[in-house]
Structure 1
Amino acid sequence: MKLMINHQTHYQYSDPACNSIQYIKMTPGSNAHQQVHCWDVSVPGLKETKNDAFNNIWITSSQRQPYSQMTIMAQGIVEINPDTQFGIGTELNPQIFLQPTSSTLCNAEMKSFADCYVPRINRANLIVLSEAILNYVPYTPDRTSVHTSAMEAFQCRQGVCQDHSHVFIAMCKYLGLPARYVSGYLFVPHTSHLASHAWAEVFFENSWYCFDTSNQLFTPNAHIYVAIGRDYWDVAPVRGIRERGGVESMNSIVQVLAC
């Protein structure tokens, strides 16, 4: 299935900004699940492309001249395998994804919650845990931010795909299972305006299993992989620093269309 993706991120500043550096992870790679036919990331300034520690494609863009607005546009065509049953394999040791991060820590209440739904480690019980997390932390836009941790989202009982992924990853790590955060896109037929997406994957039985808690999808056959890490901060689409600029505002538009 061929998909066309258009992801635009627009920034505006109340005062001119300058001397900025942007770290951009918005480029999917080809793998056993997907073939990238063409892809381009358009951003002002000088660009350098390399791979990070998780083998994600990482663009560094620097801009010296003053500016009051900036647009980063990623677009291209990716063909995915709709019969994919498992998450993509990598050369990384899965044990890396047991490392604690501030976004994926568990408190006592979360540990008790995980123990309740996963008395034994198997896929069926992990699916039940994913369903329980969505019931306990219903999808609620605009109530959390990228800085919200798994414990905070669980406590306030609201969040989006990023929060669901962090909560699920935190509980899986507590259960002794390597769990990773995946950023990308989700194809939903008859819907063109979406947001960039995130889901979790867990390693056991020598395979990576998909757990898209927000959508209750447990195979990645409608997903496009962009980046993999331990949490959101390893895969953030755009991070950066700048001089001046005053107050920053941002809006983003994503289209994922069959072609």
Structure 2
Amino acid sequence: MHLSIRHETLYRYTQPQAYSIEQLHLTPRAEPQQQVLSWHISTPGHCEAYVDAFGNASHMLTLNAPHDVVRIVVEGIVATVPLPGGRLRAHDNLPPLIFTVPTSLTRPTALLADVAAASLPALGNPVCTANLLGLAAHIQGAVAYQTGATNVATTAAEALLLGAGVCQDHAHVFLACCHAHGVPARYVSGYIDPGSTGHAASHAWVDAWVEDPDFTGWVSIDVTHARLMTDGYCRLAIGRDYESAAPVRGMRRGGGDEVMRVEAKIVPVQ
């Protein structure tokens, strides 16, 4: 499948800012299951490309002159291939065990451990794809999709107690449950062909390490929809949680209020 992608992030400030710095994960990953056919990034200021610790194509954007608007636009076409069983073809240099370490957003609690125990085998036993899809379905039922119910600082434990959240929260709850059972799992940011789902085209999901009878490795799972990743997804970045894989994340120096608008459009093309 070919996906035509356009993603615009616009910041407006009520007062000029003296300085802004933004970390961008807005370039699709180089992986066997996707190929970037064309890609362009447009930003103000100085934009320096680098590869981060997780192998993500990244940029550091800095603006040193006074500004009251920051507009970041990326667009291009990515070719994707079907993923039978959601199984990733990538062979990572990073050991899976580094993705068993909880973060402040994914730290397990007793309640999260109970959710994990309801779907996953006893500690120490192999976890298969069916177990993880069962966990995703459990989370889908426990945390209703509700825009605006949470924010980027909401933890997995808080989202579960609230019973509402968005794709980012679903991913964090799933990660926390996996960590409670010592299962390697990581956060994925990217895009999805929204089709008729009614959800945003900018999306978050997870990769988890499975031991199926015929496969051992990473399987990619969309927790929000309790399904496996397909060729309708484009992967931007992986990390331990939102903070390490967010498409845009930064800080500014200056007064006033900030308004951010994000528009992402993903269209399958021939």
Q: Calculate the TM-score normalised by the size of structure 2.
A: 0.91
**Matched residue type, 1:235:** A
**Matched residue type, 1:59:** H
> 1:10 touches 1:70 (CA, 8 Å); kept in 2?
yes
Alignment-derived partner of residue 22 in structure 1? 22
Alignment-derived partner of residue 161 in structure 2? 155
Q: CA deviation at 1:115?
A: 0.8
Alignment-derived partner of residue 139 in structure 2? 133
> 2:133 touches 2:227 (CA, 8 Å); kept in 1?
no
Cα distance in 2 for residues equivalent to 1:170 and 1:77: 33
1:54-69 paired onto structure 2 within 5 Å = 54-69=54-69
SS where residue 20 of structure 1 aligns? strand
RMSD of the alignment, in Å?
A: 1.7
Match of 2:236 among 226, 230, 233: 226
Greater CA drift, 211-220 or 41-50:
211-220
**Matched residue type, 1:251:** R
- Total equivalences in the alignment: 259
Cα distance in 1 for residues equivalent to 2:252 and 2:69: 13
> 1:89 touches 1:208 (CA, 8 Å); kept in 2?
no
1:99-110 paired onto structure 2 within 5 Å = 99-110=101-112
> 2:193 touches 2:201 (CA, 8 Å); kept in 1?
no
**Matched residue type, 2:107:** L
Q: CA deviation at 1:241?
A: 2.3
Q: Does residue 86 of structure 1 match 2:87?
A: yes
Q: CA deviation at 1:47?
A: 1.3
Match of 1:237 among 233, 247, 251: 247
**Matched residue type, 1:44:** P
**CA separation of 1:89/1:188 partners in 2, compared to 1, >3 Å: closer, same or farther?**
farther
**CA separation of 1:159/1:139 partners in 2, compared to 1, >3 Å: closer, same or farther?**
same
Cα distance in 2 for residues equivalent to 1:202 and 1:254: 26
Q: Which runs of 5+ in 1 are unaligned?
A: none
Q: Does residue 204 of structure 1 match 2:231?
A: no
Q: CA deviation at 1:192?
A: 10
Cα distance in 1 for residues equivalent to 2:135 and 2:83: 24
Cα distance in 2 for residues equivalent to 1:123 and 1:54: 24
Q: CA deviation at 1:225?
A: 0.6
Cα distance in 1 for residues equivalent to 2:61 and 2:176: 32
**Matched residue type, 2:189:** S
> 1:139 touches 1:161 (CA, 8 Å); kept in 2?
yes
Alignment-derived partner of residue 7 in structure 2? 7
**CA separation of 1:212/1:192 partners in 2, compared to 1, >3 Å: closer, same or farther?**
closer
Q: Does residue 123 of structure 1 match 2:129?
A: yes
> 1:183 touches 1:228 (CA, 8 Å); kept in 2?
yes
Cα distance in 2 for residues equivalent to 1:8 and 1:193: 17
Q: CA deviation at 1:193?
A: 8.5
Cα distance in 2 for residues equivalent to 1:204 and 1:176: 12
**CA separation of 1:190/1:156 partners in 2, compared to 1, >3 Å: closer, same or farther?**
closer
Q: CA deviation at 1:22?
A: 1.5
Q: Which runs of 5+ in 2 are unaligned?
A: none
Cα deviation code 1:201-255 (max 9, x no counterpart): 1112221012211112213332111000000000111122222141111011000
Cα deviation code 1:12-35 (max 9, x no counterpart): 101001222211111112311000
Cα distance in 1 for residues equivalent to 2:249 and 2:135: 32
